[in-house]
Structure 1
């Protein structure tokens, strides 16, 4: 039976929320908002308990951001401790999941733009499946997301499975009480990285064609998630990761050190010169200059290997991790100088639009920026960016 024709069975949830019951999907019964409703941004509510129920349902509260959990400090090995009881998540695997695992085994190097095999990632996910099951679920989720853009007419089925696997991974991560240690550091690093790529793709594909305000809010949400990797990867942890079996895949780190010792390129020189003399009356100018320096770093890093786009793609995905909180604040405020800097990032997304995570988001974002910063700021952009904007039909 074709994948898109088959209706997956689900186990009944007697205490599940109203939305999940209406959608005929299993509810994890997390309160005040279950994972399904949080991810799909639905209003989560629970039916009133029957007279035989031990206590009434709590009053509805604003739905929490399920992604925000990755930003919260994880318990240490010393403190440990168990959090409040939460319902167990169904961790069964199906034939569909095996299809996704096979696709990851065969094609992860391609859809993650790796300069090497993705086998070490899969091996780690399988090795820690009993202690850190959220990693395997996220591996499968990203694989399903890639398949959703290829396997027609079953693409909607794959996309739905990608979302459900991501929900399950996040739920398992939220329920994890194990402290950060040498045994799970790689799993946590990979989980945050894979989840970041997943959410970046969904953000760029689904929110770059609307308004600049909507995109900025969603991009900030993505930033909070992806930058969460910094919460548990300190210098010592990073050194240990670089010496692990992931080392062949982390070439960006070595080349970043090389680029740091080179004379920066001139792709951003025009806007750089303008910002150095621009009196914005705001502290955001310094933050924007710093973000522009990181843009130049990103472009210089991409030039270290022109034989493939892999390095450039990973350099592009690294930029959101290195910009300052002050720049993010200016971007949130829609400051024109912040949007002008972001135009260079959008231009890079456009340049590497063949990578499925970026797609056509670059051209859409350049058009949004063009309509929001006006001709004065457009004239301050360097020629390649300005030329691309002029060539687009916005």
Structure 2
């Protein structure tokens, strides 16, 4: 039985900024991103039937406080927290509501107002680390590598990088090449938190966070919001028949061709490897299911937005997505296969490392970038002829969401 279709009708996002750099609240961010997405879709908030709102660090029912800035229509509002995968989780729930027939038009909205400084052990960890949702993950790391003074997330990903270097011969320069590429891409993104360009040598010489990761290989804490309007095929047809919209609505819509979420299995923990515990197996499982549901493969993809919270995670994700064999990712980036002129363009937005990483907004911002790419609206970042895009959003704890988007026509 074929599944119903769903489409991205509109996208919006704020600029991503350093925490406390602007005098705004999370509901201000949400209003800005949500209004842009609705305007992009040519819709009013009164046409939204349900809303799924994601965030990690705001209090319960912050989703209502944010959505109410767009209108007081009485629609159901669902609050979602799935660590760094929160944005893509909100999108997935919006898609499921549409494809399941519960609604024809759903708004997915994500935001974060963060504190300055490095991220701790995971959203909701508090002072009692043993009670953290990611205690099991860090326990695997501690058993193999100990537990030091650096930020916990930098430690677990840094140790994954060390394992990759020892197992496959990956070099520090190849890890730095990921960051150099993404900083270079962000120079053309006016919404990116950072737009400076760095050489591999400058990235290697930056302050060490947890060897081999330097500051310029780590995503920053960020403030920002993003929003996506998801509609059914029926709703899209109805819009296309309205006077004044015609075929433009259909031409600008981007199909959600396939999507899957995976959470941890025994494979994440059994090996005792940080490579597995930070998510290569769970990302691989989500990718396989997304390919299967869409009938597409990595060979069909033109442009990728993936979760480069640290440079090593981009390399691990190349392998999980099937872009290369395990251990081949260092060579892939060094050979230029993942930038303009290569086989794929990965993180044309600048990725998390340079664009920024407000947890609840990240997955939806990835969607916004891919929609602009598939419409041909990405300006100097445009990937020529892009027809299929892939988004990968992962959170420790754990969850990975992989989404495939296909251009209209």
Return the TM-score normalized by structure 2: 0.26
- Which of structures 1 and 2 has the bigger CA Rg? 1
Return the structure number with greater helix share. Answer: 1
Higher relative contact order (CA 8 A, sep 6+): 2
Return the TM-score normalized by structure 1: 0.27
